[in-house]
Structure 1
């Protein structure tokens, strides 16, 4: 078996996703290559059988034409009929479960039906054991060009043909009709034909396997790039950006935006190591990411210990406010569970606002999907002017949630740039409705 080169292994190893070892991936690729080669082998065996049938008919017609005696015509017809029958059987087996399970045996049977069977028939009918090297050479070259895989099968078929001839020679012990130099010449031609055929198959299969691994490495690289792109941008925006790499900006008449901030995290950073701090933040934000995916919410970005998400874009939905409300309540529960498991005392302050936004991708480098508009600013103010451990929503969001959720009126608060605004605190789901 030919293994991938070190560069192929290094490239594949670098492309393996988290949690999957190189050995598992390499085994999967090897199995995939074997399946592909098996399918290729079966198709080519059927093609070879068809070619042999057509070639056999031409040879039968030729020998019937050149033989003037009736007995010679009958012998030629019998030999040709036996070879054609063997070939037909091999062709039929290629289409059955036996052929799919044992294609190697079909390969050898096709070869020996032309080489060994002809030699045996002629020996039985005429007691003539002159080596039919021209038939052998034609068969070996045919298989090397049509089925250039599994070089060891080609070698076995060639050795089997020669052993068959030597066995018949020992049994019949005929008198040689030509000078010794003739047989040496024929032997040398046959030897180098076999060597060249086997070596060419070996080189072709080696090249084919390298191409297969390179193709799979390219597919894995594309898959990884696609996964990384989808971690940065929504799927719809990523597809749009790939097809037309230009500024993307869309207006959305009504979406719901969420801002969340971890209370007390800044104070914790003063007496916690950077590595531990980042690990804690990463754990919490990973929980939030899972909640966003569960509720069909689009994560926009994180800024320090703040988390921003939106519902209702890029795929527009009429259920954007409830989706954000459910996520906000689950975020509170997730932080509470995290505190119990990690002996922490974090609380989360969340602000929610509903209204129109502009969303898109700008810039040439390190681009990201972002939102702009008053709705974003109000959501940010709802969070920054909120109460630790609570979810504060604006009037518009309240009107969308009041029938199915429990909300307490907080009252008017002064919001920078907006004046006084009526706000509400989201408490939970109204179980009565």
Structure 2
């Protein structure tokens, strides 16, 4: 039992080693054009062809060895020697294929393989003073080449002409006697037979390579179109994410219904540039848009840094919220840090542009309803009393200060510094206690 298990493991290990040895060397780079692809294809198929030819001759070597041991009358020593010589040439090709020169010049390996199989066995009969065309090996080799390596029909023609050249040299210059493989086969019939075999092989390679070239071009065009489509999709995704929160954008693509959600507690911030209308009358439209873009871009970076969701800009007003669409417990602290950083960012812009911009900021905390409205130029927007209160805190605030509602103050009073402003008449609410955020506590 143990011996059978060991034998099975040994055979499995041997098979893995053989398959690993038969793997072609990896190409140096991906095929960027047809010529590169064809060269990689030829290397892969040529490596396979070498192993097929080697196994082919090894089977006949095994047959001769069987004859030597069991049927000595049928054993032919010169055949065994010829086969060993051809196998040595094939092993040389496999070794050459592993070297840089073989990978750079697969055509050289191809020709050595072809002539080793077709001309190599003829050397035996040449030494005996006669020339014997191979009715079996030549057609098998030419058809095998055309099947395994259907590229570069001109290279196939060169390998065939090499065999023809050997025939001419053997008969015309060396004066070898022609010995036909069969009594009924005449030299003229043999020439015509080999001509049509070579013609069919070369024609099939030529037609197949035309098909390969067209297929490669179609595949590259398809890949280019897919890459362009993917690029456009990524661009569309990026534009969509600039309009909507990521989670809402994903839902909007999957759902074909109104998106609306209630949030129990968030913090909303409104900011407005004081006196921007007067400033706009003193600068050119291009300069005005440039300044506004610089300010709001700085605010956008801060919103991203603090993990907040920018809702919209209206003129010179900026709206941002903390605590949605993904809820967070520190929404009030995040929005307070955003407000304080907005003041510092604006001060930095003033020093760079020699302007004197000031902003009013209002913050409110409480429940809101959020969702997407419209079918064209849609936006993610907020509704509710908390939104109105944040707007009132800004519009009725003090230039350069941050005014918050009592609810926001209660959330932050332990960690931030406030000044009590007192009662403020809020439109639609009457008098309310409000507070001014000064900074972060120690």
| TM-score range relative to shorter protein | 0.7 to 0.9
Do 1:33 and 1:209's aligned partners in 2 also have CA atoms closer than 8 Å?
A: no
Which residue of structure 2 lines up, in the alignment, with residue 26 of structure 1?
none
**CA distance, structure 2, for counterparts of residue 114 and residue 338 of structure 1:** 75
Pairwise mapping of residues 241-252 of structure 1 onto structure 2 (< 5 A)? 241-252=252-263
Give SS of 1:271's match.
coil
Deviating more after overlay: 283-292 vs 191-200: 191-200
Aligned to 1:125: 124
What is the match of residue 330 of structure 1? 341
Q: Deviations over 1:129-163 (max 9, x none)?
A: 8593552343234233xxxxxx6xx3675366357
**Equivalents in 2 of 1:243, 1:44: separation in Å?**
47
Rate the CA distance shift 1:36–1:256 in 2: closer, same or farther, 3 A: farther
Larger Rg computed on CA atoms: 2
Match of 1:158 in 2: 156
CA distance in 2, matches of 1:59, 1:247: 74
**Within 5 A, what are the aligned runs for 1:26-425?**
34=32, 49=47, 53=51, 57=55, 69-71=74-76, 74=80, 78=84, 81-82=87-88, 85=91, 108=107, 111-112=110-111, 114-127=113-126, 130=133, 132=138, 134-144=140-150, 154=152, 157-158=155-156, 161-162=159-160, 164-165=162-163, 168=166, 172=170, 178-179=187-188, 184-425=195-436
Query: 1:250: how far off?
Result: 1.2
Maintained 8 Å contact 2:272/2:394: yes
Residues 134 and 47 (structure 1), Cα distance of their counterparts in 2 relative to 1, 3 Å cut: closer
Relative to structure 1, the CA distance from residue 44 to residue 305 in structure 2 (aligned partners, 3 Å threshold; closer, same or farther) is: farther
Structure ranking higher on relative contact order (CA contacts 8 Å, 6+ apart): 1
Distance in structure 2 (CA, Å) of the matches to 1:248 and 1:329: 32
Q: CA RMSD in A?
A: 3.7
Equivalent in the alignment of 2:6: none
SS at match of 2:377: coil
Contact 2:31/2:37 (8 A) holds in 1: no
**Number of residue equivalences:** 385
Measure, in 2, the Cα distance between the counterparts of 1:326 and 1:35.
55
Structure 1: gaps of 5 or more residues: 1-30, 145-150
Describe the shift of the 1:126–1:401 C-alpha distance in structure 2 as closer, same or farther (beyond 3 A): farther
Give the structure-1-normalised TM-score.
0.76
The two structures have a TM-score, normalised by structure 2, of: 0.74
Deviates more, 1:77-86 or 1:310-319: 77-86
Relative distance call for 1:244 and 1:284 in structure 2 (3 A) is: same
CA distance in structure 2 between the partners assigned to 1:102 and 1:371 by the alignment: 69
Secondary structure of the residue aligned to 1:409 is: strand
CA contact (8 A) 1:53 1:87 kept: no
Structure 1 residues 272-281 or 171-180, which shifts more? 171-180
Give the secondary structure class of the aligned counterpart of 1:346: coil
Q: Measure, in 1, the Cα distance between the counterparts of 2:109 and 2:262.
A: 68
1:36 and 1:309 mapped to 2: Cα distance?
A: 54
Q: Could you tell me whether the CA contact under 8 Å between 1:41 and 1:103 is conserved in 2?
A: no
What do residues 85-114 of structure 1 show as CA deviations (whole Å, max 9, x unaligned)? 4687689x5xxxx79x98665x55774464
Q: SS of the residue aligned with 2:121? A: helix
Deviations 1:265-305 (A, max 9, x none): 11122233222221211111111111100111110111111
CA distance in 1, matches of 2:33, 2:306: 40
